[in-house]
Amino acid sequence: MVKETGFYDMLGVKPNATPDELKKAYRKLALKYHPDKNPTEGEKFKQISQAYEVLSDSQKREVYDQGGEKAIKGGGSGGGFGSPMDIFDMFFGGGGRMHRERRGKNVVHQLTVSLEDLFNGATRKLAVQKNVICDRCEGRGGRKGLVEMCMSCRGTGMQVRLHQLGPGMVQQVSTVCGGCQGQRISHKDRCKACSGRKILRQKKILEVHIDKGMKDGQKLVFHGEGDQEPELEPGDIIIVLDQRVHPVFTRQGENLTMTMELQLVEALCGFQKPVQTLDNRSLLITCHPGELIKPGDKKCVLNEGMPIHRRPFEKGRLIILFSSPKAEFLRPVIKLVGDREGPWMEAPLTAGHEEESLECKLFN
C-alpha cells in the first residue's frame, strides 16, 4: 500500500505500474505538454517530469511509496528535482549525457610482446572472457510474454527500508531483495539458460595485429567488443602492449642500442664481430687496425634501428656502445696515441662469412 498516489495520477498509471508502463506514459504526456508544442503548459510539463524522475528511479520510488512527496523533498532520496528539459533530453536522446550513461564500461587487457614482434610485426590471438546477451531469452531474463516482475522489489532487485532517526530525519538502507535474490524476476519464470541474469559468460578469441614499429604501452582498441548488457551499448576492449626486456637490444624511440664487449687486443688492433639483428640477419661490425676504440665510444649504423610506425621502410639507427673489461690498461695507450675519430668505413666481408657489409661511424 502506497502512502499517496499523486505522482502516479500525474502520469495516469496505477501504483503497481511496470517501468515500461511508466516510460510509455511519460513519453505520451511529455510530447503532448512540451513547451515547444504548448507554451502555456510549462507547469504541467514540469510536474510530469518530476513525477517520472521519481517513479523511474527504484530507490526514489520506494521512498515516495513509503513517505510520499514530503519524504522526497525532505532528503530521503537525495532531495530535489532535476531540470525538466534535462529529463526530456535524456529520455529522447537529445543530449550527449544520455549516450554516455547508456554505454557499458571499457575492458582493458595487457598483451605481452617481444621486441621482435614490434620490429617485424605479428598477429597474436588473445582469449578473453566477456558477458553476452543470453540468446535463449534475448536478454529478458525469462520467456517472452511470460516474465513476471518480482512484486517484492517491483523488478529492481533491491529493497529499500526507511528508518526514522528523528523529527524530519529519515535514513534509507538498500538490501538485495529476498524474494528474487536480486534477479528482478520471479523464480518460476526465469530463463533456464541464464537463470534470469539476462547475460551469459562467453569466451572470445581476438586477433591482435601488431604493426611494425609499434611501441611499448601502445593501445589497440576493439570497438564494441566489451561486455554486453541489456539496453546498453557495449563498451570497447582495449589491448595494451607490454614489451618484454630484450637480452641484447634496448629501444630508445626509433633507435636500438646495444653494448659490445671488447678485449684489449681488439680495441688496439681492430676486430670483426657479427651482430644478429631482430629479423635474423647478421651484420659484420668492423674496426680496422690502428683505429683506436676507447672505453665508452659509440658507433651507429644507419637504417638498422626500429621501423617507424606506419612507415615501415624507414628505420632509426643501431647505436653500439663499446666497453672493455681491461679499460684501465688502455688509458696510457690513449694518452700516447691521442684522441682519434675513425672515418666512415665500409666493413669488408671475410671469406666464408654470410654477414652483410655495412657502414658505421663514431657517434656522439
Domain with CATH 1.10.287.110 in the chain: 6-101
Q: Picking from 44-53, 75-84, 97-106, 136-145, which range would have the lowest pLDDT averaged per residue?
A: 75-84
What are 54-94's pLDDT values in tens digits? Answer: 898 888 888 888 888 888 776 544 445 666 666 776 666 55
Domain with CATH 2.60.260.20 in the chain: 107-148+185-243, 250-362
Quick one: pLDDT band at residue 12, thresholds 50, 70, 90?
A: very high
Share of the chain above pLDDT 70, in %: 75
Decide the pairing of beta strands 255-261 and 318-323: parallel
Secondary structure of residue 9 in the 3-state scheme: helix
Query: Are the C-beta atoms of residues 308 and 315 closer than 8 Å to each other?
Result: yes
What are 167-212's pLDDT values in tens digits? Answer: 767 777 778 787 676 666 667 777 889 888 889 999 999 999 999 9
What is the DSSP code (8-state) at residue 278? T
Residue position matching grid coordinates 570497438: 223
The CATH-assigned architecture of domain 107-148+185-243 is Sandwich (2.60)
- DSSP per residue over 16-74, as a string? T--HHHHHHHHHHHHHHH-TTT-GGGHHHHHHHHHHHHHHTSHHHHHHHHHHHHHHHHT
List Cβ neighbours of 226 (8 Å cut-off, separation of 6 or more).
Answer: 104, 105, 106, 107, 130, 234, 235, 236, 237
What are 42-56's pLDDT values in tens digits? Answer: 888 889 988 998 898
pLDDT score recorded for residue 59: 83
Cell of 154: 517491483
Tell whether pTM > 0.85.
Answer: no
pLDDT (mean) for 162-169:
72
The answer as to CATH 1.10.287.110 being correct for domain 6-101 is yes
The CATH-assigned architecture of domain 250-362 is Sandwich (2.60)
